[in-house]
Amino acid sequence: METEAEILLEEDEHAIERQVAGYLEAEDGEGLAKLLDSLSYSDALRQLLQLYPEDRDRLFSILPHDIAAELLREAPNEVAVEMASRLDPVLAAAILGELDSDIQADILGEMEGEIADAIYATMGKKEADDLRLLASYDDDVAGGIMVTEAFTFNKKDTVGNVLKRLAAEEEDFERYRGQHPYILNRFGKPVGVVSLRSLLTAKRSALLTEIMTPPMTVHVSTPLDDVLEIFDEHPFLGMPVVDDKGKLAGVISRAAADEAALERAENENLRLQGIVGEEVRSMPVILRSRRRLAWLSANIVLNIIAASVISAYEATLAAVIAIAVFLPMVSDMSGCSGNQAVAVTMRELSLGLVKPFDAFRVWLKEASVGIINGTVLGILIGLVAWVWKGNAYLGLVIGLALALNTLIAVSIGGVVPLLLKRFGQDPAVASGPLLTTVTDMAGFFLVLSLATLFMPMLI
């Protein structure tokens, strides 16, 4: 039963929905902007996603560009791409222009080629070229996380020049996210960085070269894990990113690196559950259904294969019906052990601690754990089967099957993600179904074949 607070909250939601509809009907962008600005980002985004696509298009056409841009910023990337793709290219470019370059590149990089080209065509050549380059970098390298906006000066600038620019460009400076000033040589290469404390304590006439320190830079291809490691070791708020020629390509902030790591972890968790890409329920039903079915259909086939093992031993099951009780226990317990191994391998892959060529070493490590855990679990479930059904041989069959299947499961869970990675497949998506099928098949086969072997003692 709904509480009074829940009823009031629901009434407020309906009131906001009616206000949004009214502003859209009147094409009152100013009123709509004030309403959305009064809401939290999540509430404003929820109101947006509840609209029909045509109404969303109309909303973006009447909202101030900065408010529209904030809504795109808060939306999941695929949703932002879908919404921006529906807009007139000129309008889309104007709204995207309010966003930082990394977010613009993320959205444009996911668009269909013709739509993205139409938006690029409305921009200046340099801006479009910079965004195309930024969009070409992978999400898990420095180039894919950096922003191209950088607070830069040359070697002849003074402290006074910096302070004057800070005062004159306060709004633009907001886009630098509090970066320290970077000093570039005449070739555009970073040669120094100045702390804000040094700026405040130095004479206004002092050259920046007198108070700068050598910067630590990363290459555009530096993996995200290496970037995170540098931030863990140093108290930097940001670092300059350089290209193959050593020229400044952009700046990567600590916050952006942490956000990228969190997003990667969330995506890996979704892929383990069979969700490919970002999904929210406002996305087209057919698209969501197709993505889920791709994973579920494969699981049906794999489960049919596993079930065929049981079918081959129908006579054994009919003779010793007690075995049926323990079949799911053996497969489920082994599956849990295998999932633990998958999780550790995926974690080490993301940290760069293992590579596909480490498969044999990983197997040896997992096999050691599998032998110990399999023996302990096998003894425990074997004792349970013996006491429950009063047959020591039944306990032996079930315990031995679980011990062996645990060894198989951790071997698969530890090694298969590496092999999938080696052949260019997504280990997060494929490891789960493959592990489940093999552990089920092996578990059923071991229990039923051992039961057939010990049939005279089980009846």
What pLDDT, on the 0 to 100 scale, is given for residue 281? 58
Burial of 425 (0-12, 13-18, 19+ CB in 10 A): middle
CB contact at 8 A, 245 and 268 = no
Residue ranges of the domains in the chain?
4-136, 152-260, 285-458
Long-range contacts of 89-96 (CB under 8 A, 24+ apart): 89/115, 89/118, 89/119, 89/121, 89/122, 90/122, 91/60, 91/61, 92/119, 93/119, 93/122, 93/123, 94/65, 95/60, 95/65, 95/68, 95/69, 96/69, 96/72
Q: How far apart are CA 436 and CA 416, in angstroms?
A: 12
Name which CATH class applies to 285-458: mainly alpha
The per-residue pLDDT for range 346-390, each reduced to its tens digit, is 878 876 778 888 889 889 989 999 999 999 999 999 999 899 888
The residue length of the chain stands at: 459
What pLDDT, on the 0 to 100 scale, is given for residue 348? 82
What interhelical angle do 254-272 and 323-351 show, nearest 10?
A: 160
The per-residue pLDDT for range 333-357, each reduced to its tens digit, is 888 888 888 888 887 887 677 888 8
Burial of 297 (0-12, 13-18, 19+ CB in 10 A): exposed
With a pLDDT cut of 70, the percent of the chain lying above it is: 86
How far separated are the first and last CA of the chain, in Å rounded? 54
- Which strand (E) or helix (H) includes residue 219? strand 218-219
User: Which residue bears the tokens 């019906």?
Assistant: 321
CB contact at 8 A, 240 and 215 = yes
Query: What global pTM score does this model have?
Result: 0.62
The per-residue pLDDT for range 178-236, each reduced to its tens digit, is 578 888 998 989 998 888 788 888 888 888 888 888 888 999 999 988 898 899 888 88
| CATH match for 4-136 among 1.25.60.10, 3.40.50.1010, 1.10.150.530, 3.30.565.10 | 1.25.60.10
What pLDDT, on the 0 to 100 scale, is given for residue 110? 84
Q: What is the CATH number of domain 152-260?
A: 3.10.580.10
